[in-house]
Amino acid sequence: MKNISNRGELLFCIAAGSFFISTTMASSHALAHDTAAQRIKLLEEKLQAIQMELERVKSESSRAVQKVNTIEQTTNQTVQKVNTIQQTSTALENRIAPLESIEQKSHHMLFFRGGFTHMMNHRNGVTIQNQVLPIGAQDQADKNGWYVGAGLDWNLTRDVWGFMPKTSVFAELMFEYKQFGAHVLGNGAVGNVPSMLAGGALNPIDVTVSQFTLTASPKIKFFEGSKLRPWIIPAGLGIHVMSPPSESITVLAPGVQFGAGVDYNIWKNFFVGIDGRYHLTAGKTDGVNLSGMTAGGYLGIGF
């Protein structure tokens, strides 16, 4: 009986041990399964987080690339606009520079004139045709002649003091010498050697008929900044010196000058031009009327 009891206890211990081992192994297996599942879940969550982060970075990168592209486009457009502005500015400078240069060159001008002149009336005088002493040769000079002269244009305003753009007003001071004949026969009273009043024979001397004119006039020039500039003189003062003197020994006669012409800038500070002028005197001065006209050309130097 004692052996049977010992065997039963042994079997019970074996069964209990087996059950404990089985339970322990099952628990260990379940615990290991749960731990693996948790790790896998954590890995999935981390992967999802990484994927979301990658998507966010990718989205931000796309927006950054778009912004960069937009900035590049804006920069390119700005560069194109700047280049266009620079090209336009350069073109304007190239156009404006010659105009400014011409304006500076034509600010003032020294000019030299020459050409044809015509008297409206025949001249008489103390040594040529003389109605006071009609003795011997009573010759008259031709109405036509030649002239030379010079003058100065001084700029006063480039826009008529703000009233007319591109229209300049100059003050012109000019003098000219006119000659109508160098071999006019002198009269017997004064222009004869010896004078016929002293019993001399007819021996007339050559008399030069000439005239000196000094004028001061306003000159209006149009097309400021252009190479071609027409101009007018609406009215100016003229003082004429006649030679020979009148029969009453008068040498001076005042008058009015009118004129028109055109300048052309040929090169740097040099200009050429043509002009026509009319000199009007108020009737006769001691029997002499000095009204007449001139027409010719001139060379000007701007400064």
What pLDDT score does 276 carry? 98
Measure the CA–CA gap between 201 and 111, rounded to whole angstroms.
Answer: 48
Is the pLDDT score of 33 beyond 90?
no
Which spans in the chain are helix H? 2-105
Does residue 203 carry a pLDDT above 80?
Answer: yes
Burial of 170 (0-12, 13-18, 19+ CB in 10 A): buried
Mean pLDDT across 127-135:
84
* CA 223 – CA 118 distance, rounded (Å): 31
Q: Report the residue count for the chain.
A: 303
Per-residue pLDDT band at 100 (split at 50, 70, 90): very low
Q: Is the pTM of this model over 0.75?
A: no
Q: Predicted confidence band at 197 (pLDDT cuts at 50, 70, 90)? A: confident
Q: Contact, 270 vs 246, CB < 8 A?
A: no
Position 101 confidence tier, pLDDT thresholds 50, 70, 90: very low
Q: How far is CA 145 from CA 156, 178, 200, 211, in A?
A: 34, 7, 32, 11
- Residue partners of 241: CB distance under 8 A and separation at least 6: 211, 212, 213, 214, 251, 252
More confident residue, 133 or 298: 298
* Residue 250 binned pLDDT confidence (cut-offs 50, 70, 90): confident
To the nearest whole number, what is the mean pLDDT of the chain?
A: 85
Helix (H) or strand (E) holding 117: strand 108-119
Q: Average of pLDDT values for 191-217?
A: 91
More confident residue, 253 or 6: 253
∠ CA 101-236-162, rounded to 5°:
45
Positive or negative torsion for Cα 121, 143, 213, 297: positive
The 10 Å Cβ neighbour count of residue 36 is: 10
CA 18 to chain centre: 117
Burial string for 71-100 (b: 16+ CB within 10 Å, else e) reads: eeeeeeeeeeeeeeeeeeeeeeeeeeeeee
Give the residue, 246 or 103, on which the prediction is more confident.
246
